[in-house]
Every structure is written in C-alpha cells, then in structure tokens.
Amino acid sequence: MHFNLKGLLSRNGFFLDANRPQIYINLYTAFKKAILNRSLETGSKLPPSRVLANDLGISRSTVLKAIDLLLVENYIVSKKGSGYYVRPPQDKKLKLSFPTIEKKGGYPKLSKKGRAFSDNAKYMVEDYNTGVAFRPGLPPLDIFPVQIWKKLIDEYWKHITPSELSYCNTIGLQCLRENLSQYLKVYRDIHCHPDQIIVTTGSLHSLYLVASVLLEQNDEVIMENPTYPMAHHLFKSLGATIRAAQVDTEGLNWSTISCQHPKFIYTTPSCQYPLGMKMSMKRRRALLQWAAQKETFVIEDDYNHEFSNWEKPLGSLFGMDSQQRVIYLGTFNKLIHPSLRLGYIIVPDHLMDAVSGLYKQSSRFASRENQKAMSIFIERDYLNKHLRKVIDTAKERKEIFVHHFNTRLGDSFSLDHNSLGLHLIAHNKLNITDTCVEQALLQHNIRGHALSKYYIRPNNANGMVMGFCSVNPKQIKETIQKMGQVIEQLIN
C-alpha cells in the first residue's frame, strides 16, 4: 500500500519554493518531523522514491538525497528488495508528541435515544476476540464448506459487470428473494411473494428496522421472560416500556401480565430463547386471537427453525396468520456463520414502505456479493446438504458435550438437555453467581453466558447458557476439562 504522502508532508513543513534550491533538506526535515510526531508510525513503509518524486512533483534524485539523510540519522531503515521503513526513535529521551485534545466549552447533548443506546450497550458481553467454545448461538463453524463458498464468490467476480459494482436494490437481490421464498415454502410452509421479503444483515438488524418504525417513547412491548438480551436492550434504547411475560412449557404466557396497548409482542415460538421449548399449537392460536383483539403485531423471531423443527416439524406463526399481524424474521447467520451477515424479514404490506424507507436511509443494503453467493448456495442445493450435515454434527456434538460435561462437572451443574436449540442450560448447584462463573471462564478464554442476564428483571436464575457445537469433539472435551479446573479454583 503506497499512500500519497504529499498532504502529510506539507502539514509537516514541506513546500516547494522556486527560490529555495535545497528542496531535499526541506523534504528531509518534513519527514523527520512526521516521524517524531508519529504522523508516520514506526514500521510504516515509505513509497518507492520514483512514486514519491512523482507525487511531490520533484526529481527522483532530490528524493534520494533526502532518503540518504534519513538513513544516516537512523530515522528509516532500508530492507533489501522491499523498501524503506520508519525506525523506532533511537533517542529514548525523545518525547513523542501526540496532539492534545482540548475540551473547550460545551457540545450538543446526545438525544434521549443516543444516551439510551450508549447506556444499554454496557449490558452486552464483549467477547468477540477470543475462542468460540462454548459461546451460545453458534453452528458448527468448522464444517462450513469454505471451498464451495470460495468457488461461488470467484464465480461472482468472474462475471461481474460494471453496473453490479454500483448501488443495489435495498430490499435485496431479486434472485435471492425468489430462492428464499422457495426455501421458506419447503422448510416453513410459508407462502409469500418475493416482494414481501426484505433481505437484511441479520435478525438484530431486522428487529432494529421493525422496532424503529413502530415504537414511540413509552410504547409497551411484550417480551418473553427470559428473552434474547440484545432485543431487550434494543427495544429499551428505542424508548419502549417492556412488559415481561412468563414462559411455561407451552411457551409465552401473556396472561401473566397486564398490558393495555402493546405495540408488538416479541416471541421465539420455534425454540424459546434461551430456554429452548416450542410454543404449543393451542397457545399459537390463542396468541393470534389475542393479538387481533389487541390490534397489535407479533414479531416472530424464527432464528433457529432449521434445528428446532427438524425432527418434529411445526409450521410458523406467520403461516397461521390471516390478518398480516405477524412479522417474520429469519437469519442465515445462525445456520451458516454469524459473520455472513444475511437475514430476512417478511413484512406486512402496510409496513413495507416504512421499513424499506428506514433501511434505504440508513445502511442501504446487504453485501451484494454475499447475497448472490447465498442465492446460488440455495439454488444448487448446497444449503440443503449443509443443513443436513449441520444437523448430524450438532446431534453428535450434543451427545459428546452432555457426556463429558456430566462426567467432569456433574457435581457443580445440572444440565437441562431438552432444549431444541444449539445451546444447553447448565443450572448452577454451587453457591456462586452465574455472572461470577461467566467472568472466571472468560478469563480462561471459555465462553458461557450467565442465564440471569437473559431475564428482564433482577431474578434468582443461576445457570450457564452454553453453546455445544461450534467446535470439534476434541476441543469440546479439552474445554470441559479446562472448565472443570476453573470451577475447582473458583470454589476452593
């Protein structure tokens, strides 16, 4: 990478003056200043002398003279066959100067929403840069067919046209929406027109779009308790008043709360998040009737349907709705891998303009490259094959996880392995809080989320939500052994 350094050097005193013959001295001084004040970082590579001369409008021999001086004084070093690099300052006493930030006077205040987003972000676990075992919500990452995906991306770039490098339709590529509507017909018995589908970067993005166009300050939102914490914090940031309804073996039970005018009900009927049960048919019918009575929307987060409906398929709430009350959210980030960033919403007609309008005026559209690759991934049956492999792998890893976990940690936790999802809940038998366990594990590079954080209000929950299938059996076993040691240290 060769940056044009003209601006940087002129900020550090380089200028061309016909009356000054020794331009190389001026250039050397500007370089020296830039290195000392760290505008040019240690290790940065200088552009080749020919490029530099061209960018600065001076002769190459002038540049080479300045470079010689910088070399002699050890500001730069020459690496054979590679070029010139900035050296760390030799004089240890030399103080590197950074611009100081002066805070003069006041600044415009954050909006109420801005403050809420900033405050609520604190509740989210930042554990992105370490290992993945046993982070909840991850599929078997090691079996993703990298070579196939690479082939699809190569094909995309081989046939790319200039106009495809321009902006893309906000609601998503037509081919992907068509393939998605076929996929949803087969897997979810959902019959929808491709034009009802908006391709997003995932379910959280979909939730943001939908909730933003619906919520006014203090609007009531019904959520399952426990629930998906990111959704909870998002709705709160957008000003909602949360009504936390209990869940029982049949799923969301709204009769446990009083709520006059809910703006919407957020639910995970295929696989309650995080407890993992499926909403019964009776409850689904009743929920749709109640939503109609209350004239409200239901957001169906079907984040996990591929797994939770594999053995005992049950259709979606969306498929049972005849009133356009259900807003359906799906995602490929959970089935394929989360850094894919592709999801979708099936939007009722009367919300289409608002949701797509907000999308257009904010993040515009999801990566065209990934949309195209995903479309072909579905069309050529790779998705179907991958799904089968994921299901088999998840089943196998669940057994392995349960076996090793119970053997090594059975005295400390009791594992509830009835969940239909890709995580299990380990209830804590120890006299230690789950947040404490979470922190201790994190320090040893082991994931596991505290169950109490999934609840809307302070509660007595004490358990760990553990994803069991993102890593291979050997790593599962090793990580459980390590977890056993962490827990022993914690209790001793």
Ligand X SMILES: Cc1ncc(COP(=O)(O)O)c(C=O)c1O
Where does this chain bind ligand X (CB under 6 A)? 137, 202-204, 228, 268, 273, 301, 303, 331, 333-334, 338, 343
Closest approach of ligand X to the CB of residue 331, in Å: 3
Closest approach of ligand X to the CB of residue 67, in Å: 50
Closer to ligand X by Cβ: residue 58 or 374: 374
Closer to ligand X by Cβ: residue 342 or 487: 342
Closest approach of ligand X to the CB of residue 223, in Å: 11
Closest approach of ligand X to the CB of residue 128, in Å: 13
CB of 483 closer than 8 Å to CB of 445 = no
CB of 408 closer than 8 Å to CB of 483 = yes
With the C-alpha atoms ordered 255, 261, 262, 264, is the resulting torsion angle positive or negative?
positive
Helix axes 229-237, 112-121, angle to 10 degrees: 160
Closest approach of ligand X to the CB of residue 341, in Å: 7
Q: In Å, how far are 152, 154, 380, 392, 460 from 147, measured between CA atoms?
A: 9, 10, 15, 20, 47
Closest approach of ligand X to the CB of residue 47, in Å: 41
Closer to ligand X by Cβ: residue 207 or 471: 207
Closest approach of ligand X to the CB of residue 229, in Å: 9
Closer to ligand X by Cβ: residue 107 or 128: 128
CB of 70 closer than 8 Å to CB of 76 = yes
Closest approach of ligand X to the CB of residue 332, in Å: 8
Closer to ligand X by Cβ: residue 297 or 303: 303
Closest approach of ligand X to the CB of residue 342, in Å: 8
Alpha carbons 492 and 489: distance in angstroms, whole number:
5
Closer to ligand X by Cβ: residue 5 or 279: 279
Closer to ligand X by Cβ: residue 231 or 409: 231
Closer to ligand X by Cβ: residue 110 or 124: 124
| Cα end-to-end distance, the chain, whole Å | 54
Is omega for the bond preceding 318 within 30 degrees of 0, making it cis?
A: no
Closest approach of ligand X to the CB of residue 351, in Å: 19
Closest approach of ligand X to the CB of residue 202, in Å: 3
Considering only CA atoms, which of 330, 373, 322, 372 is closest in space to residue 348?
322
Closest approach of ligand X to the CB of residue 442, in Å: 18
Q: Give buried/exposed letters for 403-412 (b at 16+ CB in 10 A, else e).
A: ebbbebbeeb
Closer to ligand X by Cβ: residue 204 or 441: 204
Partners of 78 in the beta sheet? 84
Closer to ligand X by Cβ: residue 140 or 202: 202
Closer to ligand X by Cβ: residue 179 or 333: 333
Strands 241-248 and 83-86, how do they pair? Answer: unpaired
Q: Distance of alpha carbon 183 from its chain centroid, rounded?
A: 24
Alpha carbons 402 and 394: distance in angstroms, whole number:
12
